[in-house]
Structure 1
Amino acid sequence: MQLMSVFSPHLPHDFDYIIVGAGTAGCLLANRLSADPANRVLLIEAGGRDNYHWIHIPVGYLYCIDNPRTDWRFRTEPDKGLNGRSLIYPRGKTLGGCSSINGMLYLRGQARDYDGWAELTGDDAWRWENCLPDFMKHEDHYRLDEGGDADDTHRDYHGHGGEWRIEKQRLKWQVLDDFATAAVEAGIPRTRDFNRGDNEGVDYFEVNQRSGWRWNTSKAFLRGVEKRDNLTLWHSTQVLGLEFDKGEGGEPHCRGVKAERAGEKLVATASREVILSAGAIGSPQLLQLSGIGPADLLAEHDIPVVAELPGVGENLQDHLQIRSVYKVTGAKTLNTMANSLVGKAKIGLEYVLKRSGPMSMAPSQLCAFTRSSDDQPHPNLEYHVQPLSLEAFGQPLHDFPAITASVCNLNPTSRGTVRIKSADPRQAPAIAPNYLSTPEDRQVAADSLRVTRRIAGQPAFAKYSPEEFKPGLEYESNEDLTRLAGDIGTTIFHPVGTAKMGRDDDPMAVVDSRLRVRGIQGLRVVDASIMPTITSGNTNSPTLMIAEKAAGWILDAR
């Protein structure tokens, strides 16, 4: 574990903090740590700058996902729960990371998620009431703008003037309004805010946009501060591994990173900490490549063990969305608007003139949180409802009017893995989510399809004469519905948990409650991989909260 001494004479290599990954967490961390001019901060990103125009036009996620310019283009291993199918597994590879290619939806989850983390870690810092200030610190919520429609409750739960802009969507669809009314008829209450700790209800999503443009973390946290003298950004730089020497008490001490930049291999050192913010796939991959992980996996690839942590790459959790498609009549949907040159021209012109319309759309517009059955103690389903339909992501829209009601199990009990396939940092790891691998998840999948049918069958939606195109009303049994869920289910891009935090007596915990890697000095993980359990909603905003909280701890430790 000797620190390498091969340095380039042309680049600065000595820093106080090195952050690996300029994604959701990394951009915020770079902003906060470099706010003190005494801190020398290096931010490293494997992808390029976020100057691709489709990053910034909201509908451009269609052109960013599975695009080598912006996406790592991972794929899952064939999955038994998906009847042997393999899925694309998008992860952002550009400044802003996944916030540059994701759905732009602002959801925190439920208070019980964070209270559960506090119980699992023994640290009350993770309780909902102690996470709320970290959410609010970077918020810029549109309801709190001058002339906004905030009430006192919004002021209690939301911030204004921070870097992270939250706005309402710039379009509505009558067919979605009526689906929302049908949801109310089915027993789901209306809500004005999904982010007060209990997200049960139906309404349109709020989005991370500014005036019809995507608002990613690069814009929010790097724009303007990137020029700080004490902040160095290396984009288009591949981190190859971590460097160690002996620390106090003989424990390994992470002293830097090995990287390749512009064809040159080099080492950068950190006098205080190296912080991994490479995400739920990249962070465990880098730990394993560097000798931190399950001993048998490291031995398989002839990687010397620096610290045996069997939990690295385990505990993978994700939200599997099950896409029900309903043909409708007498409704305006994107299928009918976008399947002609005239329709496409009108859509483009509206965006150019007003920054509104379908080109300003997040991938999903209408949201609902509810229970899969009456015996569920809390909302365990989330709906992403869209005025469109297609066979699979990236394929053409159907040539008939339709909507898609995607539903996901918020609290899956299935657990997967991320494991390196070789000692080569450029080879993608094996990603095995193991969807629908437990009886509980299979039951929720079947029940969730029944909930969708109950909503679609309400009077408010009857005027559209809805016809279930997928999966099809002829399938009714648990066995049939579970099999069909495997046929039509797909990731909603929320992998977490692969370097989970936990108590010292948890053998699978990778980091402690302050996100320090167990048994290693000078190394933290700050991203969605540290979540011991997945949040009950989309994961981007919780990742920002984690980074906000961690930044305070890192600065306090100086």
Structure 2
Amino acid sequence: MNQQEFDYIIIGGGSSGCVLAGRLSENPSVSVCLLEAGGAGDGWKVEVPCAAVISIPTKINNWAFETVPQRGLNGRKGYQPRGKCLGGSSAINAMVYIRGHRQDYDDWAALGNEGWSYDEVLPYFIKSEKNERIKDQYHGNDGPLSVIDLHSDNPLQEKYIAAAKEQGYKILNDFNGAEQEGLGVYQVTHINGERCSSARAYLFPHRERKNLTIETHAQTHRILIENGVAVGVEYKQNGQLKQIRARREVLLSAGAMQSPQILMLSGVGDQQELMQHGIEVKKHLPGVGKNFHDHPDFIFAYKVSEIQGTFGLSIAGSIDLFKQIGRYRKERRGLITTNFAECGGFIKSSDEQTVPNLQLHFVVALVDNHARTMHTGHGISCHVCLLNPKSRGTIKISGSSIDDPLLIDPDFYGDESDLEEMVKGFKLTQKLMESNAFKSMIKEDLFTSNIQTDEEIRQILRDRSDTVYHPVGSCKMGVDDMAVVDPRLCVYGIKNLRVVDASIMPKVVNGNTNAPAIMIAEKAVDMIREDQAGVAFIEKKEGIV
């Protein structure tokens, strides 16, 4: 069995893991190894923005998980696409750049997570960002992550803005500034009309660093824990089982589903659940895999009479697609640069809400079943999701091997109040899509034309809701008995082990989760460096070194 030593081992090359690898390897005196179960995360299927439609419904760069049957969705299984390559889900997502609401982070801090208030995390968002247009106190212009306005030049953006004005919504040109409430066109993580994944931003420019080792197709089986200390990682690559050792820390960044899985397979979790699978208990932490939650989402879909600005299956659409490909090759502009979810924003389900609790994603294509069900012709869609769900689910293992299926349960609509808020969200979104701005182009309402009563709305929500791809919380940060990591992201009871990804969120943020996952890793790097400096000082003081 091969064995090497590194200062830091990072498990998972996703949105957070790439940040860790790129930042920690800036110091030439430390060695860093990044383990990624998927492939290289490059090539046109990642770089071309509209190619996301290839990955999301398939297993191309995608784990393509399913949930267990959902009691709140009439027993249906949900679909959970997760990135499987360098860049992780930032290599297959819709690239919308959203940080969340100020209140999200102040709530984290109020739960006892010192250092995580909005004012304390804002510098890390700024540090990460290279915003092409916005230059103010809320934004960065020199970071690795490129954030720009869309290059799609899509006329449907104007229709969406007109509909929003018609319904009395405020129009925003920045959802990450002084306020969040309003509708508009999203900024995206693109660079010159191409996708800017976290791998492209943080990792690819530094692949030649001698102190950085990147292992792809390397699936972690477990973290090696000896006497309460994380000392290394066991993984399989090319059919061979390997072990590597960590001199300083193991950093777990496998995401909201696989970080708790790897912890449990390593002996960290609820002792009764671990013992059921014959796993030696290294640390009883009952919160591992609990507090799992996600934004429940419903999609309105319409067939339209015009093809301009939309994707679809038609002869005219195919001719236009070839023209768009030519334009993309020459200018990096046009429909090929679309992220599909071009417009959207944040609204309140009622005046009782103090902050927006609904998010919309207006899509320039007809979306059904995560693009796994196709329709002829052209269309548009509009997502509405609940931003602050009360429902909480679980991540559980079904056996003692990494190959045993994960039991993923977000428990959508498990709390009835979530469903009632979504009923309000349904009505508001339906009213927006029935605006005069869209009437001339909509030919057919595919799913909701006969839905009128609240009970009918509840039924279709249960029949058709699913994830909007923002799972979090399964290794939550906190100071209570169900917390998995402390406010410095260290796993309770295990030395030299941190979790750094969206799984540490105590509560999901008001918006898309990619930018927050990058922020979490930026902040983690500073904490790792501070803690390591403290260790070095103590060792020097005690004459150990």
TM-score grouping bracket, smaller chain normalisation: over 0.9
Aligned partners of 1:39 and 1:230 also within 8 Å: yes
Equivalent residue in structure 1 for 2:301, among 301, 304, 325: 325
Which residue pairs with 1:194 in the alignment?
175
Which residue pairs with 1:296 in the alignment?
272
Q: What are the equivalent positions in structure 2 for 1:391-470 lying under 5 Å apart?
A: 391-395=368-372, 397-464=374-441, 468-470=445-447
Aligned partners of 2:313 and 2:378 also within 8 Å: no
Which residue pairs with 2:465 in the alignment?
489
Instruction: Give the Cα–Cα distance (whole angstroms) in 2 for the partners of residues 220 and 545 of structure 1.
Output: 13
2:155 paired with 1:174: yes
Which residue pairs with 2:124 in the alignment?
134
Q: Quickly say closer, same or farther: Cα 1:35–1:80, change in 2 above 3 A.
A: same
**Alpha-carbon distance, 1:519 to partner:** 0.9
For residue 207 of structure 2, what is the amino acid of its counterpart?
Answer: E
Q: Secondary structure at the match of 2:381?
A: strand
Aligned partners of 1:66 and 1:72 also within 8 Å: no
Q: Secondary structure at the match of 2:446?
A: strand
Which residue pairs with 2:538 in the alignment?
none
Which residue pairs with 1:308 in the alignment?
284
Instruction: Give the Cα–Cα distance (whole angstroms) in 1 for the partners of residues 339 and 172 of structure 2.
Output: 20
Give CA deviations for 1:492-526 in whole Å, capped at 9, x if unaligned.
111100000011xx111000011000111110000
Instruction: Give the Cα–Cα distance (whole angstroms) in 1 for the partners of residues 518 and 142 of structure 2.
Output: 16
Greater CA drift, 290-299 or 527-536 = 290-299
**Alpha-carbon distance, 1:302 to partner:** 0.8
Aligned partners of 1:456 and 1:466 also within 8 Å: no
Give CA deviations for 1:474-505 in whole Å, capped at 9, x if unaligned.
322322211101222221111100000011xx
Aligned partners of 2:359 and 2:384 also within 8 Å: yes
Which residue pairs with 2:537 in the alignment?
none
Q: What are the equivalent positions in structure 2 for 1:81-480 lying under 5 Å apart?
A: 81-123=72-114, 125-143=115-133, 150=134, 154-196=135-177, 198-246=179-227, 252-329=228-305, 332-335=308-311, 339-340=315-316, 341-395=318-372, 397-464=374-441, 468-472=445-449, 474-480=450-456
Give CA deviations for 1:311-356 in whole Å, capped at 9, x if unaligned.
1111111112211123445673525685543233223222222222
Q: Quickly say closer, same or farther: Cα 1:271–1:390, change in 2 above 3 A.
A: closer
Q: Secondary structure at the match of 2:385?
A: strand
2:69 paired with 1:75: no
Give CA deviations for 1:286-318 in whole Å, capped at 9, x if unaligned.
001011111221111011111111111111111
Give CA deviations for 1:171-208 in whole Å, capped at 9, x if unaligned.
24334422222222222101110002531111111111
Equivalent residue in structure 1 for 2:52, among 36, 61, 67: 61
Aligned partners of 2:154 and 2:334 also within 8 Å: no
TM-score of the superposed pair, with normalisation by structure 2: 0.93
For residue 73 of structure 1, what is the amino acid of its counterpart?
Answer: A
For residue 41 of structure 1, what is the amino acid of its counterpart?
Answer: V
Aligned partners of 1:121 and 1:512 also within 8 Å: no
Aligned partners of 1:291 and 1:303 also within 8 Å: yes
Greater CA drift, 332-341 or 488-497 = 332-341
Q: Quickly say closer, same or farther: Cα 1:375–1:24, change in 2 above 3 A.
A: same
2:513 paired with 1:539: yes
For residue 262 of structure 2, what is the amino acid of its counterpart?
Answer: L
Aligned partners of 2:293 and 2:508 also within 8 Å: yes
2:492 paired with 1:518: yes
Aligned partners of 1:323 and 1:407 also within 8 Å: yes
For residue 205 of structure 2, what is the amino acid of its counterpart?
Answer: G
Aligned partners of 2:153 and 2:333 also within 8 Å: no
Instruction: Give the Cα–Cα distance (whole angstroms) in 1 for the partners of residues 200 and 33 of structure 2.
Output: 18
Unaligned ranges ≥5, structure 1: 1-6, 144-149, 247-251
Q: Secondary structure at the match of 1:47?
A: coil
Q: Quickly say closer, same or farther: Cα 1:462–1:423, change in 2 above 3 A.
A: same
Aligned partners of 2:341 and 2:363 also within 8 Å: yes
**Alpha-carbon distance, 1:115 to partner:** 0.3
Structure 1 runs of 4+ off > 6 angstroms? none
Aligned partners of 2:131 and 2:141 also within 8 Å: yes
For residue 362 of structure 2, what is the amino acid of its counterpart?
Answer: V
Unaligned ranges ≥5, structure 2: 533-545
**Alpha-carbon distance, 1:464 to partner:** 4.0
Q: Quickly say closer, same or farther: Cα 1:102–1:339, change in 2 above 3 A.
A: farther
Greater CA drift, 75-84 or 452-461 = 452-461
Greater CA drift, 540-549 or 385-394 = 385-394
Give CA deviations for 1:67-105 in whole Å, capped at 9, x if unaligned.
444111211111122222212211111111111111111
For residue 311 of structure 1, what is the amino acid of its counterpart?
Answer: G
Q: Quickly say closer, same or farther: Cα 1:333–1:36, change in 2 above 3 A.
A: closer
Q: Secondary structure at the match of 1:224?
A: helix
Over the aligned positions, Cα root-mean-square deviation in angstroms equals 1.8
Q: Secondary structure at the match of 2:183?
A: strand
Instruction: Give the Cα–Cα distance (whole angstroms) in 2 for the partners of residues 331 and 99 of structure 1.
Output: 29
Instruction: Give the Cα–Cα distance (whole angstroms) in 2 for the partners of residues 356 and 465 of structure 1.
Output: 26
**Alpha-carbon distance, 1:391 to partner:** 3.1
Q: Quickly say closer, same or farther: Cα 1:121–1:221, change in 2 above 3 A.
A: same
For residue 203 of structure 2, what is the amino acid of its counterpart?
Answer: L
